[in-house]
Structure 1
């Protein structure tokens, strides 16, 4: 399909695709076949190769060691890396690092960028985004945030309990969402604060066991449960303006949701490619499975839905360049999450025993993709926003007119 991406976007995505096919996917296949995880040294080798091919950190400005692609231009490359379990990590475009880089680049001070962003881009350090809280705290309703940061002179004193902090086990620093003004509405009294993990009072409790938690690398970043007990950091560690935490988080998450959509679209595309190849080779009941009309129709529907998802994401990305595109992003996130879940489930089903086996990546994809309907905002949260927008401009007069017209039509029918 032609999506009218810019020439630069297509050229970079073509080189990313070649890197995936020539280097990354072969190593992924070996790891799946042998059970030997990809080592830290190997990941650093991937990064060096990506740098020599001008593919490293495509979303980051060149001054910090990235390729400087704008948001729309980087999306096709994110789709290509999504085709491999190792893809995003291999070019330093993986979550949550990608989103934290974007946050610091958008609103960080020059000192924060030099001390934290530059080494983060290069892979010298790691980070986590610490927002979600256990039962009773902030989650799908972020206004329920319980973590607090109280000023004491020129320091914040942070207390709270978080979990699902991605890469929190390995992080050198955390971006922590905390209430900094309890008298203000949470949307106006919450800040993001940079907390080094070696700060006294930061307690990494555990890695939360989860679906899709088995990786094929030595990395153990996990999804950490973390307690903050009288954690003191300088007020200058505030990322963005004080009280602007939700605004900054929304800027981070809007683009992050679309990059997730593209990564999972790539995952669905590769699953479909594997499924089609299997159907072409597998014979049953007197003919190739690819000749069974019911399966052909299901593949056709999957191709159609994946095309619509990709088109919607690109439209949302164009709108995001001009506005917050909140509804367009929400629609893309819900639809793409559902479609990619459906397609990978179909690919697993048609591959039968080979689908549930882990010689192929589909079973791994299947475990990973289910979480996409929850992370970065559950389906229900986005549907709530879409519905609110849909009903916002309803004119009662139009309803009255429509009802009267309907009654007149019924009366005419009865008269006839």
Structure 2
């Protein structure tokens, strides 16, 4: 984060940096434990008072109004603590839902859903993933359906691994819809209150990560009736809107976890700078220096990819969404490497609860699966590269390093 930032961004980054270290880190639960709702509410109130709450949310909805191309420096500071993003109300899945509601929600939807979500009064969830053979890394396999019955839609389907579902105030539900009233058949997003009698919370899925409040349970929608105004955006355009959400959401995961990678390296550097082996400080040994250098390279390369992708998302959503696949793959693997090396440098203490590094590894490991598995993203990246090359050859042109072809990327 060495680039010169506009004054308002640097001011917010600095205040976030200080708030995380002075207020949030001392309040962290023991490694592997979840932050309680009561503790989070108190910390969020302090974040509001410090002027660092909801950095990505427009000012009119109670946030700091930070432009997307400048989210990374602030989100990395928040991510320096595993609870920092939750305290600042910029954690998944809420952050992605806020962004999408702000871009495509109606005025009434923003008042009803975005305003309390941005204020931290409720949590939300994004319900797309389904049990096999339903939608997962391939959203085209979507099996949940919605049928228009007069003035109401009936939604039916089973969802699984729905992050944040337990305790959420509402869901954004992806369902397959038929051609209706001039709209083409496709997928549609619906805003569904958790109190709707057609919503049933199912079995929790135990996972190694703890940072996302509300877990990752199953959720069933059984003849779940919602009014016409529950449609988010337009009928049949759900997959298109998913990219509005998923491109930035992939990238903000990268930002937050890169902050945690920075902290992991700091912990390791402090540790090995104070310990000796074979008569020399560990940080003066060549094998340790190699590991440190590789971690610095991974961190700085990730930072550069994130910065480029954020700039594209601000100016060209399609190119930015395509680039976010590259960022997601590289950063999720680089962050994992940095934390793993930090554990290795700290030896036995690294895998104990005496240091928080092992719990950090548990937090970041699922990111290679969440938001679309890395293997799926690599397949899409490869397919785009082949299509670009074929197109260039057909037109007798040199290979141009554009980021996408004419095919819509609908994979998460």
Q: Which residue of 2 is the match for residue 225 of structure 1?
A: 218
Structure 2 residue matching 1:242: 3-state secondary structure: coil
Aligned-pair CA distance for 1:37:
6.0
* RMSD of aligned Cα (Å): 2.1
Q: Which residue of 2 is the match for residue 380 of structure 1?
A: 375
The 2-side partners of 1:189 and 1:292 are apart by: 59
Q: 2:130 aligns with which of 108, 133, 138?
A: 133
Residue segments in structure 1 that go unaligned for 5+ positions in a row: 402-416
Aligned-pair CA distance for 1:314:
0.3
Q: Does structure 1 retain, via aligned residues, the 8 Å contact 2:205–2:217?
A: yes
Aligned-pair CA distance for 1:354:
1.4
Please show how residues 192-231 of structure 1 align to structure 2 within 5 Å.
Answer: 192-213=189-210, 221-231=214-224
Aligned-pair CA distance for 1:343:
0.7
The 2-side partners of 1:235 and 1:305 are apart by: 48
Aligned-pair CA distance for 1:277:
0.8
The 1-side partners of 2:391 and 2:238 are apart by: 37
Q: Which residue of 1 is the match for residue 7 of structure 2?
A: 7
Q: Which residue of 2 is the match for residue 301 of structure 1?
A: 294
Normalising by structure 1, what TM-score?
A: 0.89
Q: Does structure 2 retain, via aligned residues, the 8 Å contact 1:348–1:363?
A: yes
Q: 2:176 aligns with which of 170, 174, 179?
A: 179
Report the CA distance shift for 1:220/1:37 in structure 2 as closer, same or farther (over 3 A): closer
Bigger radius of gyration: 1
Structure 1 residue matching 2:178: 3-state secondary structure: coil
Please show how residues 249-268 of structure 1 align to structure 2 within 5 Å.
Answer: 249-268=242-261
The 1-side partners of 2:353 and 2:378 are apart by: 34
The 2-side partners of 1:40 and 1:301 are apart by: 38
Please show how residues 141-180 of structure 1 align to structure 2 within 5 Å.
Answer: 141-180=138-177
Structure 2 residue matching 1:384: 3-state secondary structure: helix
The 1-side partners of 2:5 and 2:184 are apart by: 36
Aligned-pair CA distance for 1:6:
2.8
Q: Does structure 2 retain, via aligned residues, the 8 Å contact 1:178–1:192?
A: yes
Structure 2 residue matching 1:158: 3-state secondary structure: strand
Structure 2 residue matching 1:206: 3-state secondary structure: coil
The aligned length equals 391
The 1-side partners of 2:255 and 2:347 are apart by: 26
Q: Which residue of 1 is the match for residue 21 of structure 2?
A: 21
Q: 2:329 aligns with which of 327, 334, 340?
A: 334
Q: Does structure 2 retain, via aligned residues, the 8 Å contact 1:156–1:235?
A: yes
Structure 1 residue matching 2:160: 3-state secondary structure: strand
Structure 1 residue matching 2:217: 3-state secondary structure: strand
